[in-house]
């Protein structure tokens, strides 16, 4: 069979399973998640053996240390997968929730009911734990999922998925609700991206080139996660001690993640009081600084390289920071609109009008007032778990949890009403 | 300039206008809508002259009577456009609405703010009134819009859009928030569908071939409106008089629209009491009937042709009805899942468990209990106006009004919180 035929086979099974999952009681879905968690722990030795085979093959193929680290499973990582599934079981079931019912002049009552999306394709790279996380979230939201991981993690993923499928069966739910691609042939990804009849959503989890390929090729709707070029703007009415803490945390606490700050914007009025101390603190923490001319003048002994337009657009994901002095709130908002990536941006100010304008006018998936950009995260927002942070505008923006894996339909309660 | 360059020019202006519209006060947007409505009435003679030129050219090109009717403007249709804009002005502004704020253990308060989508492309065919409706809805929702109508309505649309743009200017808003395609060259549509940098959403308004082309080609997200193959299922626990009224209304009141019933499903237990009278009533009203064997047996003197699988899939949009007797609620739900189009489906029953199962398990954009399918409509649902009825699953399903032309971002109120 070619890739298209394989996809049709997998897709037809997923569609049927999705109908069963859509009406599955909350209790059965939770039981499946808890059984899967138990099985992951019970079969730890088998999973580690499979992972050792994947690791060996990967080493033989000369994969980088960074990739090998992503591929690696150990006791702690297996425990974390199991714990993740238990946390998803503990979350409220979003499916079936009814909201906003209102009575219309005709007499009908109309509102919305939350329902699963259907069949979701998850295309990921080397991290095998994505198989557990993504399956768990998709299942709880009442969907079926087709997982397509990288060939380097195939054996580890197969063992993990076996636990999840057995969990489903023990709970009386169809194992076919979680399937893996029947081939690691790259053509299968192409077939998934054309399978609008079977797939309702595709979620690529991985590096920029994977996401770009999926976005460019897919005829199925895609939930994407692009760059985080995040800003902190220190307004002239900021509490400067608070601003220093927030900016420091946003850059230094975990620089390699998408919600870390990449550019610091400072209002010219407070820059002479704020920047010298702030820049010194960054320098002490090992942060490489690149600034506009005014920043450089305020840096004193601290080395600040000249920033180019490339720096304003950079997602460093490292201990490097671009710094710019701006003359107004408007200039800060314009800078973010021009150079930002619409991920997460923060303002520090005690001025009500400035904060409200920033909140309203900055067009990012998370806009934060007086807190660190590092809070833009599913756990911190109370979603319990996230399948990613969407930089798309439609359907779901920012951290995506169970709600983002569902949609809403209209429902109407009538009493025999007809239209006149 | 080629189509791509033209699109970039129009797109850059639209993007800039979208930023201004996103922060425009409600009062200014409403003033623009009311001014545009006033101008449409004031310039009625000019609009009718432009329309007469479009009509003349269309007749010369031999367009069908149906197309000519869609193209035609008259006093009533211009008054309806103006009235439509006034109704949009009267609707609450969705932009800036904050909901679901909750305090997290870290101390931050997190929730969502409703914001415009950005730049929306509307591709439509011969009805010039779409230019007024779509502009009005997009403007109120804080978006910029690029309108691409058919060449046959170009002169009428130009006059209508001139009123809308002057309305924007009189309200101090950018006229570029509403632009028309600078050329009727078909290549411009192709350029729009590739313009992911400038367009955030494309909405095709027209026949199936237009929608299919846009869906197949577009790299920009599309909000689609496909077929309405709508069902009424008369359960064994239905009030039969209510069922008869609902089924009759759903088929006969306006058969040419997407929310009219195309297939009637009847539970076998009540079919002998329900169908003979129901079929006779349809026959008297001129409805051509096509039924399963059991339906034919219960038809008495009423002519019922045998229904084929093609009939179960048909969107007749005419006084034709397919009728099937089913043995159970499950069979009805399975029929709808297999042959329906996910648009609008109704159950008539007084049985709580049957109604709740139908509501939950039927996967359509509107699921209706004890009322006519004809209620699936933006006005009837209280949206005030609709840009279409989406048969997509993501972002917006069913009737789409102002809310569907916006999206939500996360907002966070902090007090200096940083992540540990």
Q: Is B253 on the interface with A (CB under 8 A)?
A: yes
Specify the pLDDT at position A320: 98
B124 and B246 belong to one structural domain: no
Give the tokens for residue B354.
């049957």
Q: Is A366 on the interface with B (CB under 8 A)?
A: yes
Distance from CA of B349 to the nearest CA of A (A): 10
Mean pLDDT for each 10-residue chunk of chain A (420 residues)? 96 97 98 98 98 97 92 96 96 95 97 97 93 97 97 96 98 98 92 96 91 92 91 98 98 95 98 98 98 98 97 97 98 97 97 98 97 96 88 92 96 97
Across the interface, whether the CB atoms of A366 and B201 are under 8 A apart is answered no
Q: Is B416 on the interface with A (CB under 8 A)?
A: yes
Residue A60 domain flag? yes
Across the interface, whether the CB atoms of A409 and B364 are under 8 A apart is answered yes
Scanning A260-299 for CB atoms below 8 A from B yields none
In chain B, what percentage of residues exceed pLDDT 70?
100
Residue A356 domain flag? yes
SS3 call for A327 = coil
Across the interface, whether the CB atoms of A102 and B246 are under 8 A apart is answered no
Across the interface, whether the CB atoms of B376 and A408 are under 8 A apart is answered no
B184 and B266 belong to one structural domain: no
Residue B385 domain flag? no
Residues of A whose CB is below 8 A from B368? 108, 411-412, 414
Q: Is A391 on the interface with B (CB under 8 A)?
A: no
Across the interface, whether the CB atoms of B407 and A394 are under 8 A apart is answered yes
Q: Is A22 on the interface with B (CB under 8 A)?
A: yes
Residues of B whose CB is below 8 A from A383? none
Query: What is the DSSP secondary structure assignment for residue A5, as one 8-state letter?
Result: H
Across the interface, whether the CB atoms of B412 and A368 are under 8 A apart is answered yes
Strands A109-116 and A406-417: antiparallel
Q: Which residue of A has its CA nearest to B348?
A: A416
State how far the alpha carbon of A255 is from the alpha carbons of A247, A250, A277, A284, B410, in Å. 12, 8, 20, 15, 22
A113 and A212 belong to one structural domain: yes
SS3 call for B167 = helix
B23: enclosing H helix or E strand: none
Across the interface, whether the CB atoms of B216 and A219 are under 8 A apart is answered yes
Q: Is A257 on the interface with B (CB under 8 A)?
A: no
Integer Cα distance of A192 and A3 in angstroms: 9
Q: Is B100 on the interface with A (CB under 8 A)?
A: no
Alpha helices in A141-270 (DSSP H): 154-170, 186-194, 208-217, 240-252
Across the interface, whether the CB atoms of A412 and B104 are under 8 A apart is answered no
Integer Cα distance of A304 and A283 in angstroms: 9
Specify the pLDDT at position B306: 98
Q: Report the sign of the C-alpha dihedral through residues A7, A10, A16, A18, in that order.
A: negative
Distance from CA of A348 to the nearest CA of B (A): 8
How many contacts does A have with B, using Cβ atoms within 8 A? 217
CATH number at residue B100: 3.40.605.10
Q: Is B411 on the interface with A (CB under 8 A)?
A: yes
Across the interface, whether the CB atoms of A110 and B381 are under 8 A apart is answered yes
A367 CB neighbour count, 10 Å cutoff = 25
Scanning B128-187 for CB atoms below 8 A from A yields none
Q: Which residue of B has its CA nearest to A413?
A: B369
Nearest to A412 among B22, B113, B368 (CB): B368
**Are the CB atoms for A31 and A90 separated by under 8 Å?**
no
Residues of B whose CB is below 8 A from A409? 363-367, 397-398
Residues of A whose CB is below 8 A from B398? 409-410
A41 and A180 belong to one structural domain: yes
Q: Which residues contact B40 (CB under 8 A, 6 or more apart)?
A: B47, B78, B81, B82, B85, B132, B160, B163
Q: Any idea what the Cα angle at residue B362 is, between residues B357 and B365, rounded to 5°?
A: 130
Residue A395 domain flag? no
Residues of A whose CB is below 8 A from B221? 221, 394
Q: Which residue of B has its CA nearest to A250?
A: B418
Nearest to B410 among A110, A117, A365 (CB): A365
A131 and A155 belong to one structural domain: yes
A255 and A304 belong to one structural domain: yes
Q: Is A256 on the interface with B (CB under 8 A)?
A: no
A199 and A265 belong to one structural domain: no
Across the interface, whether the CB atoms of B409 and A249 are under 8 A apart is answered no
Residues of B whose CB is below 8 A from A248? 418
Q: Is B360 on the interface with A (CB under 8 A)?
A: yes
Asked if ipTM goes beyond 0.90, one says yes
Give this prediction's pTM: 0.93
Integer Cα distance of A22 and B359 in angstroms: 12
Residue A361 domain flag? yes
Scanning A311-330 for CB atoms below 8 A from B yields none
Q: Any idea what the Cα angle at residue A233 is, between residues A228 and A235, rounded to 5°?
A: 170
A184 and A288 belong to one structural domain: no
Q: Which domain holds residue A18?
A: 3-223+400-411
Task: Summarize pLDDT for B219-269 with one digit per residue, the tens.
Answer: 999 999 888 999 999 999 999 999 999 999 999 999 999 999 999 999 999
CATH number at residue B305: 3.40.309.10
**Are the CB atoms for A350 and A325 separated by under 8 Å?**
no
State how far the alpha carbon of B32 is from the alpha carbons of B36, B118, B386, in Å. 6, 18, 19
**Are the CB atoms for B204 and B212 separated by under 8 Å?**
no
Q: Is B417 on the interface with A (CB under 8 A)?
A: yes
Specify the pLDDT at position B222: 93
Across the interface, whether the CB atoms of A380 and B108 are under 8 A apart is answered yes
B252 and B192 belong to one structural domain: no
Among residues A369, A389, A367, A387, the alpha carbon closest in space to that of A377 is found at A389
Across the interface, whether the CB atoms of B366 and A96 are under 8 A apart is answered no
Specify the pLDDT at position A378: 92
B371 and B404 belong to one structural domain: no
Task: Annotate A127-161 with DSSP letters as a single string.
Answer: -THHHHHHHHHHHHTT-EEEEE--GGGHHHHHHHH
Nearest to B371 among A117, A374, A414 (CB): A414
Residue A110 domain flag? yes
A204 and A265 belong to one structural domain: no
Integer Cα distance of A246 and A383 in angstroms: 23
Across the interface, whether the CB atoms of B104 and A381 are under 8 A apart is answered yes
Write the burial class of residue A217 (CB in 10 Å: 0-12 exposed, 13-18 middle, 19+ buried).
Answer: middle
The stretches in chain B having pLDDT less than 70 are: none
Across the interface, whether the CB atoms of B371 and A395 are under 8 A apart is answered no
Q: Which residue of B has its CA nearest to A15?
A: B337
Nearest to A113 among B117, B216, B359 (CB): B359
The CB-based long-range contact list for B275-282 (8 Å cut-off, 24+ gap) reads: B275/B299, B275/B323, B275/B325, B276/B300, B276/B302, B277/B244, B278/B243, B278/B244, B278/B247, B278/B248, B279/B304, B279/B323, B281/B244, B281/B248, B282/B248, B282/B251, B282/B252, B282/B321
Across the interface, whether the CB atoms of A419 and B249 are under 8 A apart is answered yes
Specify the pLDDT at position B386: 87
Residue A238 domain flag? yes
Across the interface, whether the CB atoms of A416 and B245 are under 8 A apart is answered yes
Give the tokens for residue B182.
């600078």
Q: Is B113 on the interface with A (CB under 8 A)?
A: yes
B102 CB neighbour count, 10 Å cutoff = 10
Mutate to test the interface with A, among B107, B143, B375 (most CBs of A within 10 A): B375
B269 and B288 belong to one structural domain: yes
For residues B388-417, one letter each, b for 16 or more C-beta atoms within 10 angstroms of the residue's C-beta and e for the rest, the string is bbbbbbbbbbbbbbbebbbbbbbbbbbebb
Task: Summarize pLDDT for A102-154 with one digit per residue, the tens.
Answer: 999 999 999 999 999 999 999 998 899 999 999 999 999 999 999 999 999 99
Give the tokens for residue A181.
């691609």
Counted domains in chain B: 2
Residue B384 domain flag? no
SS3 call for A50 = helix
Query: What is the DSSP secondary structure assignment for residue A393, as one 8-state letter?
Result: S
Residues of B whose CB is below 8 A from A221? 221, 394
Q: Is B106 on the interface with A (CB under 8 A)?
A: yes
């Amino acid at each position: 069979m070619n890739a298209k035929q394989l996809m049709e086979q997998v897709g037809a099974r997923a569609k049927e399973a999705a109908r069963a999952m859509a009406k599955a009681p909350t209790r059965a879905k939770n039981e499946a998640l808890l059984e899967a968690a138990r099985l992951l722990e019970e079969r730890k030795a088998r999973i580690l053996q499979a992972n050792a085979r994947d690791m060996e093959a990967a080493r033989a193929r000369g994969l980088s240390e960074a990739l090998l680290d992503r591929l690696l499973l150990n006791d702690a990582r297996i425990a974390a997968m199991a714990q993740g599934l238990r946390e998803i079981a503990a979350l409220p079931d979003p499916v079936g929730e009814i909201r906003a019912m209102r009575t219309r002049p005709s007499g009908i009552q109309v509102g919305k009911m939350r329902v699963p999306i259907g069949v979701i394709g998850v295309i990921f790279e080397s991290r095998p734990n994505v198989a557990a996380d993504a399956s768990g979230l998709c299942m709880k939201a009442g969907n079926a999922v087709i997982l397509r991981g990288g060939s380097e993690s195939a054996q580890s993923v197969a063992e993990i998925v076996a636990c999840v499928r057995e969990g489903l069966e023990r709970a009386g739910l169809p194992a076919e609700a979680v399937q893996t691609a029947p081939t690691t042939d790259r053509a299968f990804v192409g077939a998934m991206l054309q399978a609008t009849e079977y797939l309702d959503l595709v979620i690529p989890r991985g590096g920029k080139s994977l996401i770009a390929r999926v976005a460019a090729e897919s005829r199925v709707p895609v939930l994407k996660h692009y760059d985080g070029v995040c800003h902190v703007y220190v307004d002239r009415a900021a509490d400067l001690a608070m601003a220093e803490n927030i900016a420091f945390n946003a850059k230094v606490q975990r620089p390699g993640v998408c919600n870390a700050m990449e550019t610091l914007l400072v209002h010219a009025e407070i820059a002479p009081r704020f920047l010298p101390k702030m820049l010194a603190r960054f320098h002490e923490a090992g942060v490489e600084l690149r600034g506009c001319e005014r920043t450089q003048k305020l840096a004193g002994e601290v080395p600040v390289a000249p920033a180019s337009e490339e720096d304003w657009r950079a997602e460093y994901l490292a201990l490097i920071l671009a710094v710019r002095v701006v003359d107004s709130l408007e200039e800060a908002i314009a800078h973010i609109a021009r150079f930002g990536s619409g991920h997460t941006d923060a303002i520090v100010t005690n001025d009500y009008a400035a904060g409200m304008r920033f909140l309203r006018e900055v067009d990012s998936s998370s806009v934060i007032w007086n807190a660190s950009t590092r809070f833009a995260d599913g756990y911190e927002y109370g979603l319990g778990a996230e399948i990613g942070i969407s930089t798309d505008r439609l359907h779901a923006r920012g951290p995506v949890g169970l709600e983002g894996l569902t949609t809403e339909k209209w429902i109407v309660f009538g009493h025999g009403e007809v239209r006149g």
